[in-house]
A and B are shown apart, each in its own frame.
Chain A
Amino acid sequence: MPVTGKVVAAYGNMVTASFESDVLQNEVAYVITGEHRLKSEVIRVRDTVCDMQVFEDTRDVKVGDRVEFTGNLLVVELGPGLLAQIYDGLQNPLPELAEKSGLFLKRGVYLDCLDREREWEFTPVAKEGDTVRAGDVLGTVPEGLFTHQIFVPFDFIGAARVTKMTPQGSYTVAQTVAEVEDERGKTHALTMVQEWPIKVPLRKYESRLLPVEPLVTGIRIIDTFYPVAKGGTACIPGPFGSGKTVLQQLISRYANVDVIIVAACGERAGEVVETLREFPHLTDPYTGKTLMERTIIICNTSSMPVAAREASIYTAVTLGEYYRQMGRNVLLLADSTSRWAQALREMSGRLEEIPGDEAFPAYLQTRIAEFYERAGYVTLGNGDKGSVSIIGTVSPAGGNFEEPVTQGTLAVVGAFLGLTWARSNARRFPAIDPLISWSKYVEQMRETLGRLDPGWTSMLKEAKRLIFAGDEIKKRMDVVGEEGTPLADFISHLKAEFVDAVYLQQNAFDPVDAYNTMERQVYIFRKLHEVLRKEITASDKDDAREIFFRLTALFKNWNSAEWESDEFRKYEEQINDFLGS
């Protein structure tokens, strides 16, 4: 008998309800308004009433409306068929919603998250008589590029004996594929689909490891200078117009992971549309299939209900954890975590909690930390390794990084890729500012990076030192003018500008330059390093400038030449000639 209750108050998307017997914190309830059933979540219990955030428009809610409590936390459905899907923040499939309710989103319409008609070719792994536990593999189905494992539900308690396995064949996700008997002799019918509460981390792994494998994004300034590890975290804060979205889109195209989850959280719908319409036609550089086949889009854009926006980020990370459980490397791109924090702020305001900085709730920092800590590089029960990496963008108000969301994020992530107006206005893209960004993974991955080139970290340090020195000289030069700058300093400045122009900047619209493999990055960086070490002899400043104009043009052409093509060799020779001279 489900617990029911009645609405006693409503304000914005918060509804307060009385209840009869017991409720759970964070359980799902439905507010029944006319013909609509509005999904909501209990977020505070006080004596005989509870406050709920409603994931839909609350128009027409009346005092006395019936409330049904489900007794379940907010969950996602896990099973084959998640890849290539487009979901809203509550895992409602948007294309199917469009078929059902037309151009606009209708409230209170909830569809099956996984297609119930589609059949999957199931191959059993477990055998009758086997003893299994939560997270053990029952069988597999092929899903797109790889084998999708079907697990004993992660919330299954204790050991169980397999009493029946279906033979190999085609089944839908809802059909029983195995029957098991638990320790108390009760039989459970297991299907290919299971549920997991989104706000509880899925931790069915052996142990968590230190992330030491680089996650290659194809973007030089990230991979070389401020790298992210598989299973690591990074944040990209930047004011509007600094190219956050383009950067996210590039990473979602070129990152060397198995599964990409794009969580469009409170951003423009127009941006998701590009991913939505283009990914089915773009080729994955690693597998040759379309990009869509490795992508899941969670799309809760800015005009969609704000409480669902809060949930969307958890939905996304739970799906990621599920694929990690199969030994996959997953990258979650959350754009933008500021909008998620704002959703927290809105609810906190409605709950009349005592506000912290800029009216954000006092628990903001904890929530941010909890979220990023769900990333990780792990060893699974069968010895396989898997990872979830999280790259979140932050949209700081007024481009000021001193605000609570940016600061709260910086405290917990492993890499900081700060975008600035100074760089985007100067058309230096990607506008990641080398002077303020950092990555803890350079040290952490020292050993793995050393395999690329034994001198990698020391070359890196030298290049960074030069960039900072160049900046200092530039500042001085702005005051005393070119005339007052010694030639040696001037050359250092030109060298720093050269690194910026040919390595830190990258042309996203050039088919070759847009994406660099790690192999190519190492190759080019070595050559760049040789240039930096070379003593440049110039008669005067104009001569020096001339030399670097030429070098820059050479490297730029080299950057747009196909890897190891004749053209590539041609420019390399010209560069070698210069170095030899």
Chain B
Amino acid sequence: MREIVTRITEITGSIASLSASGVGLGELAEIQLPGRKTLGQVIRIAGNMVTLQVFGGTKGLSTNDRVRFLGHPMQVKYGESMLGRIFNGSGAPIDGGPDPVEDEIPIGGPSFNPANRIIAKQMIRTNIPMIDVFNSLVVSQKLPIFSIPGEPYNQVLARVGMQAEADIILLGGMGLKFDDYTFFKTTFEASGVMNRVVMFIHQASDPVVECLLVPDMTLAVAERFAEAGRRVLVLLTDMTNFADALKEISISMEQIPSNRGYPGDLYSQLAARYEKAVDIQELGDITILSVTTMPGDDVTHPVPDNTGYITEGQFYLHNGVIDPFGSLSRLKQNVVSKVTRDDHNDIMNTMIRLYADCRESRNKIAMGFKLSRWDETLLAYGEDFERELMDLEVNIPLEEALDRCWGILARHFETVQTGLKDSLVEQYWPARDADEKQAV
């Protein structure tokens, strides 16, 4: 039986220190407060002084509360019965159901051996043309949605969750508002996917340390499912809250901040989570789609900046649409026109190039310059492009979206104006009247 300590000597922020022996780094401790229990994790040992990060927060913690060390690091339950359930940031169910009877697994496990990795070559269909056609999501990819508060990023995330081809969907919510949490819950329930969803939710009102645990628990469970041969999609929202929680803890640990108060290891901390995305040969895989809100819409802010160096591209969500400029999927080359239709690559580039020209024509309007007939054509094209493809309400499979691209082009341009290869034009360019019917 491990000793029970009854004297806490120091309490600051979410950190408590006490004197104990034989305690290992990372070990879990249970603190018995009057009427409730909370967990804490050892983050520093020095002589017989042990520093704990208290998950439940230190509000109301007394210097004579009882602390018991559990002899193991933080764990999370894993098993089939987790499906359809919702847990909080310390792994306790918050959906009113019973505690699942499953084995516990450690969280924050070691890195995947790079020598075991394979080149990702499978596409994940989301039925959102701006993703499928223009920046395809690939199995084992890690992609953030860069956005600002107020944009419908959680809606996009939920839609991808519902529609993506994945066996298991894991949602890690960090600093979620109650409304957003309810939105995810009701959306998943209403669409009937809840039976393959596991949610780990840290709400904005929960203690900040629990926020730090959410990605680790979510990804530990994801890793086990992937090892068991399942295709796992991990949704993380919002990673900026996670980074802010890191900042809060490191400041109260008196660490020297590096950039805008964030700790010097922000990059490593984010990378340790994102790098869990993996395609395990002959087994399952993990794909990560996350949300990073950019304070002040500033992409050079430390959180989006470090994220950009880690992830394989990013989606910019601006004014309610996924912006084709700036958005990038680094892995799309692995699938576009290789596993998708042969016209995919060319049509994608042509549509974007013409849309860029359209934006220039719009600039001309703004500058008060005269418009040529070519400008008029581009403007009409741009409107159709936005209405029929960019709008987030559009929900069609990739092939239909590609056909729609051809339809829009045929409606506005002569074949030569598009610069598309003759062989593709012959095969895919629709007859004019056919498209008019479709448009009506």
Chain A contacts to B: CB under 8 angstroms: 8-12, 16, 33, 57-64, 86, 94-95, 97-98, 101-107, 239-241, 266, 268-270, 272-274, 276-278, 299, 301-304, 306, 339, 342, 345-346, 349, 352, 355, 358-360, 395, 397-400, 425
**A97 smallest CB distance to B (angstroms):** 6
Select one of A61, A239, A273 contacting B117, CB under 8 A: A273
| Inter-chain contacts of B23 with A (CB < 8 A) | 62-63
With contacts A306-B265, A339-B267 taken as known, whether A358 is within 8 angstroms of B258 at the C-beta atoms is yes
- Enumerate 14 A-B pairs (CB-CB under 8 Å) in ascending A order: A8-B46, A11-B43, A63-B45, A63-B48, A64-B21, A105-B110, A266-B268, A269-B275, A276-B117, A303-B276, A342-B265, A349-B264, A359-B256, A398-B301
Contacts of B380 in A (CB 8 A): none
Known contacts A103-B113, A349-B256, A358-B259; is-contact A60 B268 (Cβ 8 Å): no
- Ranked nearest first, the 4 interchain pairs of A and B with the lowest CB-CB distance are A398-B300, A302-B271, A303-B275, A9-B46
B residues in contact with A97, CB < 8 Å: 113, 115
Residues A301 and B300 in contact, CB atoms below 8 Å apart:
no
- Docked Cα-Cα span, A61 to B22, in Å, equals 10
Chain B residue contacts of A278, Cβ below 8 A: 119
Q: In chain B between 322 and 340, which residues have their CB closer than 8 angstroms to a CB of chain A?
A: 325-326, 328, 331
Asked if B256 and A355 make an inter-chain contact with CB atoms under 8 angstroms apart, the answer reads yes
CB contact list, B150-191 vs A, under 8 A: none
Known contacts A241-B328, A277-B118, A342-B267; A397 and B112 CB within 8 A of each other: no
B79 within 8 A of A: no
Residues from chain B with a CB closer than 8 A to the CB of A16 are: 46
Task: List CB contacts (< 8 Å) of B21-58 with chain A.
Answer: 21-27, 43-48
Interchain CB contact (< 8 A) of A303 among B73, B111, B256, B258 = B111
Determine which residue in B120, B140, B227, B271 has the highest number of CB atoms from chain A within 10 A of its CB, and name it: B271
Closest to A305 in B: B111
* B residues near A301, Cβ cutoff 8 Å: 111, 114, 275
The CA of A86 and the CA of B27, in the complex, are separated in Å by: 34
Closest CB-CB distance, A556 to chain B, in whole Å? Answer: 14
* Complex CA distance for A346 and B268, rounded to whole angstroms: 10
CB distance from B251 to the nearest CB of A (A): 12
Mask of B257-269 contacts with A, CB within 8 angstroms, 1/0 = 1110001110110
On whether the beta carbons of B300 and A400 are closer than 8 Å, the reply is: yes
Q: Is B348 part of the binding interface, using a Cβ–Cβ cutoff of 8 Å? A: no
What 0/1 readout, one digit per residue, does chain B (268-304) give for beta carbons within 8 Å of chain A? Answer: 1001100110001000000000000000000111100
Contact residues in B for A86 (Cβ distance below 8 Å) = 114-115
Q: Give bound CA distance, A273 to B312, whole Å.
A: 13
- Min CB–CB distance B332 → chain A (angstroms): 13
Cα(A345)–Cα(B258), bound, Å: 9
A270 touches B310 (CB 8 A): no
What distance in Å separates the Cβ of A502 from its nearest Cβ neighbour in chain B? 19
Known: A240-B309, A269-B112. 11 other contacts (CB 8 A): A10-B25, A59-B73, A103-B113, A103-B280, A269-B275, A299-B115, A342-B268, A349-B255, A349-B265, A397-B259, A397-B306
Q: Are B114 and A106 in contact (CB under 8 A)?
A: no
Is there contact, CB below 8 Å, between A104 and B112? Answer: yes
B305: interface (CB < 8 Å): yes
Expressed in whole angstroms, the Cα–Cα distance for A266 and B114 within the complex equals: 12
Which of chain A's residues has its CB closest to B257's CB? A359
B117→A10 contact, CB < 8 A: no
Chain B contact residue count (CB 8 A cutoff): 58
- How many contacts A-B (CB < 8 Å)? 172
CB-CB under 8 A from B192, the residues of chain A are none
Chain A residues with CB under 8 Å of B264's CB are 342, 345-346, 349, 359
B226 to chain A, nearest CB (A): 10
Instruction: Give the residue name and chain of the A residue nearest to B71 (CB).
Output: A60
Shortest Cβ distance from A267 into B: residue: B309
In the complex, are the beta carbons of A302 and B280 less than 8 A apart?
no
Distance of B299 from chain A, by nearest CB (Å):
8
Q: Which of B21, B111, B272 makes the CB contact (< 8 A) with A105?
A: B111
Q: CB within 8 Å of A: which of B88-127?
A: 109-120
Query: Are the C-beta atoms of B305 and A398 separated by less than 8 Å?
Result: yes
In angstroms, Cα B25 to Cα A33, docked, is 11
Chain A residues near B299: list those with CB within 8 A. Answer: 398
Chain A residue at minimum C-beta to C-beta distance from B312: A270
Shortest C-beta distance, A155 to chain B (Å), equals 31
- Chain A: minimal CB distance from B311 (Å): 8
- Tell me if B300 and A346 are in contact (CB < 8 A): no
Please name all residues of chain B whose beta carbon is closer than 8 Å to the beta carbon of A268 when the two chains form the complex: 275, 310, 312
Contact B110 A57 (CB under 8 A): yes
Contact B112 A103 (CB under 8 A): yes
Cα A10 to Cα B280 with chains together (Å) = 34
Q: CA–CA, A217 to B211, complex, Å? A: 47
Q: Does A273 lie within 8 Å of B114, measured CB to CB? A: yes
List chain B residues, Cβ under 8 A from A60. Answer: 24-27, 73
How far, in whole Å, are A138 and B111 apart by their CA atoms in the complex? 41
Give the residue name and chain of the B residue nearest to A300 (CB).
B114
Given contacts A11-B43, A273-B119, contact A63 B21 (CB under 8 A): yes
Most chain-B Cβ atoms within 10 A of its Cβ — which of A33, A98, A277?
A98
B430: chain A residues within 8 A (beta carbon): none
Which of chain B's residues has its CB closest to A400's CB? B300
Please state if A277 and B119 are interface contacts (CB–CB under 8 Å): yes
* Bound: A478/B26 CA distance, A: 59
B308, CB-defined interface residue at 8 Å: yes
Closest to A342 in B: B267
Q: Are B44 and A397 in contact (CB under 8 A)?
A: no
Report the bound CA distance from A339 to B310 in whole Å.
11
CA distance A358 to B266 in the complex (A): 13
Q: How far is the CA of A98 from the CA of B111 in the complex (A)?
A: 12
- Give the nearest-CB partner of B22 in chain A: A62
